[in-house]
Amino acid sequence: MLIALAVAAHALEPNADGHVLPMAPRWSVDVAGAPAAEPVSDARQVYLALKAGQVVACALSDGAEKWRRDNLATAQPLGLDGSHLFVVAGAAIHALRTADGRDDWIKPDLTPTAPLLAEGGWVIAATASGLVALRGSDGAIVWQRKAGTIRERPTIDGDRLYCSLEDGRMTALQLESGEPIWEQQLGGAPGTVYVSHGRVYAGGSDKYFYCLRADTGELLWESRVGATFQGRPSGDEDHVYVAALDNIVRAFDRANGALRWKVALPERPASGPIVAGTTVFVPAVAAEVWAFNARTGARQGGVPVPERLAVPPELVERADVGLFAFAITGGLTNEWKLTLLATTGDPPVVPLSALPGTVLPPER
């Protein structure tokens, strides 16, 4: 079942049953099969990749199927930027038009080793032979660069591209040209990076959490967590937040790495934390997205979902409404559904299909 959860960021106090807001289904439609990856969405549609090889677009307004593409089996997360949905199928990258699902362009002979990065008109593919930067509008190659093995999605911040390499290096490149800016060797392979306020944060396979200067790569601080990290870090003005497989969420002082708070989770986290206003959300493999006070770590209830998550949810922050989470769940009987859950109070001021929004990248 795919659930779209609408959570207003300005009203995050738990209600009587311990949840942030009362939620109720607005509509529910059948989905043809199990998900192959996390869903992605824009202001009008949500896009699903299914294990049976279909890519499907459904309307946010009522869940109606808008288009479907067959024979596009993928094990990679979908990429979405502007009017294109990017799908890695076989040894090719397909740029589908979000309006009708037709191929706008196909780039053959590219087999990414990490999830595609599609952002700001760029498509960055990490392959066995190195990095390839494509123009999203037409698939033209802008630059190529040899690199070590990359398993994590790169990150764009301003005019720079940050990459985590399997051999423990973190690198910063010029986005326009691929020219190197700096390289830093860490104690373990870094995960997907989080860049904010001139600093780069990443958890390493050595179970240390690292903070580097974004301009020079200088190591500013590190903190031993002692557990494998889950998903991408997130942060706000004061803290950077991480989830780990010891079922603990930690908040570090972003300036000096001091541990400000940590909380134990009832179950394993499904992805990294997401910050909305003064609340930190942590999706669970259970049927709930937990919520914590960003300053203190105090539990602020959560958002219930009908069944256990099949894949980590996608979280979308919309300034005028708040946070939406798109999550896919399904039963052992393979009865998969697409369902929209929304608050049971007053309806949104504007229709869901017209909401502007900024898509947050899926956690890996």
Confidence class for position 241, pLDDT limits 50, 70, 90: very high
User: What's residue 95's pLDDT?
Assistant: 98
User: What's residue 149's pLDDT?
Assistant: 96
Confidence class for position 306, pLDDT limits 50, 70, 90: low
CA dist., res. 16 & res. 24, Å (int): 15
User: What's residue 121's pLDDT?
Assistant: 98
**Burial state string for 257-268 with b = 16 or more CB within 10 A and e = fewer than 16:** beebbebebeee
Architecture of domain 45-76+78-149: Beta Barrel (2.40)
Report, as an integer, the average pLDDT of 312-328. 63
Confidence class for position 270, pLDDT limits 50, 70, 90: confident
Of the candidates 306, 310, 323, 313, which has an alpha carbon nearest to the alpha carbon of residue 358?
323
Domain segments of the chain as ranges? 45-76+78-149, 154-191+193-230
User: What's residue 25's pLDDT?
Assistant: 65
Could you give phi then psi for residue 273, rounded to 5 degrees? -70, 155
Confidence class for position 353, pLDDT limits 50, 70, 90: very low
- Between 16-20, 263-267, 310-314, 333-337, the lowest mean confidence (pLDDT) is in 16-20
For the structural domain made of 154-191+193-230, what CATH number should be given? Answer: 2.40.10.480
User: What's residue 80's pLDDT?
Assistant: 97
- DSSP assigned state of 4: E
Confidence class for position 8, pLDDT limits 50, 70, 90: very low
Highest mean pLDDT among 12-16, 43-47, 254-258: 254-258
User: What's residue 318's pLDDT?
Assistant: 59
Whether the predicted model's global pTM rises above the 0.95 cut: no
Give the C-alpha distances (Å, rounded to integers) separating 25 from 62, 172, 260, 344: 11, 44, 37, 9
Q: Show the tokens assigned to 211.
A: 């903070």
Report, as an integer, the average pLDDT of 16-41. 71
CA dist., res. 340 & res. 199, Å (int): 37
User: What's residue 360's pLDDT?
Assistant: 41
Of the candidates 257, 263, 258, which has an alpha carbon nearest to the alpha carbon of residue 280?
263
CA dist., res. 182 & res. 184, Å (int): 7
Average pLDDT over the chain reads 85
Confidence class for position 3, pLDDT limits 50, 70, 90: very low
Residues 188-224: tens digit of each pLDDT: 999 999 999 999 999 999 999 999 999 999 999 999 9
Confidence class for position 273, pLDDT limits 50, 70, 90: very high
User: What's residue 351's pLDDT?
Assistant: 36
- Between 21-35, 156-170, 220-234, the lowest mean confidence (pLDDT) is in 21-35
